[in-house]
Amino acid sequence: MTSLAPTTAWIKGAKDDYRDCPVTTLKVDMHTERLIIANAVMAVVTLALGGIAALLIALTRWQAIHLLPAAWFYRLLTLHGIDMLIAWIVFFEMAGLHFGSTVLLNARHAAPKLAWTGFAMMTVGGLMANAVVLIDPNSNVMFSAYVPLKAHPLFYLSYILFAVGALITVITFFINIVVAKREGRFSGSLPLVVFGLMTAAILATYTLLEGAAAIVPAFFWSLGILKTYDPGIYRNFFWGFGHPAQQVNLAAMVSIWYALAQMTVGIRPVNEKFSRLAFILYLFFINLGSAHHLLVDPGLSFAWKAVNTSYAMYLAVLGSMMHAFSIPAALEIALRAKGYRKGLFGWLRNAPWGEPGFSALVLSMFLFGWIGGVTGVTIGTEQINMLVHNTLRLPGHFHATVVSGTTLAFMGFTYYVIPLIFRKELKLKSWAKWQPYVFGTGMLLTSMGMIVSGLQGVARRNWDITFAGVVPGTVNLPGGLWHWRIASSRRRHYVCDHRPHLDSHRTPPRSLQSFAPHRHTQPDHRFHKIDRSSNGRQAKPTQRRARARLCLPCLVRHLLLHELVAAGSYLVHPLERHSPLKTCPGLRHLGQVQISKTGNSTK
């Protein structure tokens, strides 16, 4: 390996060119080893910062605790988005690009100084973003930082530094591939895992350039050099960065899936051309799914929105479905070849479920595909997206994809990279066996909780959700049943059996008082029984509260109305012309309700 470039020893006396792994027989360039270690450490640091912010955010959204004031809630929500959606994932992916372009090809790192420059810029940008958000009270503009919200100039500068550093690292990946090919380190096509990483690198190039088109003008705008900045232009360019950044994660995650399947079971792809075609579909169609962030923007035509959130996105989803069939099929073939052929699922029962890499692979595919993928396809369509985009259903989706699927796959891969790159034996191996199951179960509950909450109209990016019951269609989940019951029994609106009743108020049960909106008393409507034998005199009101008794068509219309209001639709004369108002007393009141643009109901 005399062709390897000379290096500076990491430790005095250490070998300064490459080393052979005694287990895998892979040749590890020393520059690559140090770059992987540095990027991996920064990935874990930002993951820890984002995780702490997530815990504080959750304790604030939990109204019984409501830990933080509004200003700190939004600042930590901004920090959480930056660290978890950008910093942690990108640092790990940069380590993966170094690994794939050198170690997996038994090649040298051709541009180590350039790679270290990129890492330094990413580190400065990532830490600067965290510092600015924590110090400057005006930088609570969220991950998206929509114009006209204006943060400190250093906030935008941190984005630029991080993006330029990542772009430099991507360039070194392509340099390494070209040099490895020229030096004969591989023949023919790239190995499938490296091919997937190259797909991620191509997507990252486009994504980072789009981000620069959005953030650089915002930086000059924050300095006052640019007097105005059109919000529509910013949103268009930003979501050319924000959503495709998650598609970079997708391509990298699928590459890791193939790597984990090979390392734990020893698969050979059923058809490599089939898998490569799926990656190519990502290149041409996956970024078009970002159009669902722009559905309410007036500058784009309806035809453009409809095509990009339907037909174009279906081809990108087709790529993921191809991988979803290819990898399990390869696993079954490999396990059956090892002798596990009894019964239809004997191979699955005898799979290495105690291997953290295998369990992480299976759970990552399940959570990403069945929870994140299914919700992503439905949310990506125009009609549903208009209803749910600003509810917790959307965070539920990307917590199932990025936090559950991508992060779990990266965690499983780390168990095999640590002995190879860090040259350290794993500690607490029994804990490692359980870690994917514990993390996967927790993220399943988190994602499903958000999705179910969003289906009931709970807003995202909201510090205080105690307006539940005040705005139609919104609920506070801890006391959700109580508030829905209160809303459904207000006055005589929902009583379809024509029984008269008395409006009164009483305090909620003690166990639910902390969840009551604005801590005020709630109405409790009681039936008045009519004593027909005493000339129509009223008896004392019973203690039984009125229940919502709606016929099925009226119930469907009622729930539809709530869903529309929760999505921000403005109903001027809701259902006034519909026949159920004439036939069902339970909905007769809806013809008199108007929802103003501020969300307040009026009579």
Q: What is the pLDDT of residues 10-25, one digit of tens each?
A: 444 444 577 877 777 7
> How far apart (Å, rounded) are the C-alpha atoms in residues 507 and 305?
49
pLDDT of 195 over the 90 cut: yes
122-126, 156-160, 310-314: least confidently modelled range: 310-314
pLDDT of 256 over the 90 cut: yes
Who has greater pLDDT, 422 or 251? 251
Structure tokens at 72: 């700190």
* Residue environment code for 252-284, b if the CB has 16+ CB neighbours within 10 A, otherwise e: bbbbbbbbbbbbbbebebeeeeebbebbebbbe
Residue 523 CB coordination number (10 Å): 14
For residue 229, what is the DSSP state?
-
pLDDT of 580 over the 70 cut: no
| Res 475: pLDDT | 52
pLDDT of 167 over the 50 cut: yes
| Res 471: pLDDT | 52
Helix (H, G, I), strand (E, B) or coil at 396: helix
18-22, 56-60, 186-190, 468-472: least confidently modelled range: 468-472
Kindly give, in sequence order, each residue whose CB lies less than 8 Å from that of residue 52, ignoring residues fewer than 6 positions away.
none
| Res 584: pLDDT | 40
Q: What is the pLDDT of residues 262-274, one digit of tens each?
A: 999 999 989 999 9
**Chain position carrying tokens 């290096």:** 7
> How far apart (Å, rounded) are the C-alpha atoms in residues 168 and 181?
20
| Res 568: pLDDT | 38
C-alpha radius of gyration, the chain, whole number: 28
Question: Mind giving me the DSSP string for 22-45?
Answer: TTT--EEEHHHHHHHHHHHHHHHH
| Res 299: pLDDT | 80
Q: What average pLDDT does the segment 106-129 reach?
A: 94
| Res 397: pLDDT | 92
Structure tokens at 240: 């050319």
Who has greater pLDDT, 553 or 4? 553
> How far apart (Å, rounded) are the C-alpha atoms in residues 353 and 509?
47
> How far apart (Å, rounded) are the C-alpha atoms in residues 167 and 422?
25
Residue 352 CB coordination number (10 Å): 12
| Res 436: pLDDT | 95
Question: Mind giving me the DSSP string for 420-473?
Answer: III--PPS-HHHHHHHHHHHHHHHHHHHHHHHHHHHTTPBSS-S--TTBTTBTT
Instruction: Name the band, by pLDDT with cuts 50, 70 and 90, for residue 543.
Output: very low
| Res 526: pLDDT | 37
Residue 428 CB coordination number (10 Å): 9
| Res 476: pLDDT | 52
> How far apart (Å, rounded) are the C-alpha atoms in residues 213 and 220?
12
Closest C-alpha among 373, 435, 381, 378 to residue 398: 373
Q: What is the pLDDT of residues 473-498, one digit of tens each?
A: 555 544 333 333 333 333 333 333 33
| Res 494: pLDDT | 32
501-502 and 526-527 strand pairing: antiparallel
pLDDT of 192 over the 90 cut: yes
Instruction: Name the band, by pLDDT with cuts 50, 70 and 90, for residue 29.
Output: confident
pLDDT of 462 over the 90 cut: no
Q: What average pLDDT does the segment 200-217 reach?
A: 93
| Res 367: pLDDT | 94
pLDDT of 180 over the 60 cut: yes
> How far apart (Å, rounded) are the C-alpha atoms in residues 415 and 144?
33
Instruction: Name the band, by pLDDT with cuts 50, 70 and 90, for residue 400.
Output: very high
| Res 593: pLDDT | 37
Closest C-alpha among 193, 256, 199, 267 to residue 414: 256
Question: Mind giving me the DSSP string for 69-118?
Answer: -HHHHHHHHHHHHIIIIIIHHHHHHHHHHHHHHHGGGT---S-HHHHHHH
| Res 536: pLDDT | 44
Q: What average pLDDT does the segment 54-81 reach?
A: 91
Q: What average pLDDT does the segment 43-60 reach?
A: 94
Task: Give percent above pLDDT 90 in the chain.
Answer: 47
Q: What is the pLDDT of residues 359-397, one digit of tens each?
A: 999 999 999 999 998 888 888 777 788 888 888 999 999
Instruction: Name the band, by pLDDT with cuts 50, 70 and 90, for residue 258.
Output: very high
Structure tokens at 26: 């892979």
> How far apart (Å, rounded) are the C-alpha atoms in residues 460 and 396?
10
| Res 470: pLDDT | 52
522-523 and 505-506 strand pairing: antiparallel
Residue 121 CB coordination number (10 Å): 20
Instruction: Name the band, by pLDDT with cuts 50, 70 and 90, for residue 551.
Output: low
Instruction: Name the band, by pLDDT with cuts 50, 70 and 90, for residue 186.
Output: confident
Instruction: Name the band, by pLDDT with cuts 50, 70 and 90, for residue 467.
Output: low
pLDDT of 329 over the 80 cut: yes
Question: Mind giving me the DSSP string for 261-294?
Answer: HHHHT----S-HHHHHHHHHHHHHHGGGGGGGGG
> How far apart (Å, rounded) are the C-alpha atoms in residues 108 and 3?
8
Is residue 239 within 8 Å of residue 168, measured between CB atoms?
no
pLDDT of 3 over the 90 cut: no
Q: What are phi and psi of 189, to 5 degrees?
A: -75, 160
CA 395 to chain centre: 6
For residue 495, what is the DSSP state?
B
**Chain position carrying tokens 């909201």:** 462
pLDDT of 529 over the 80 cut: no
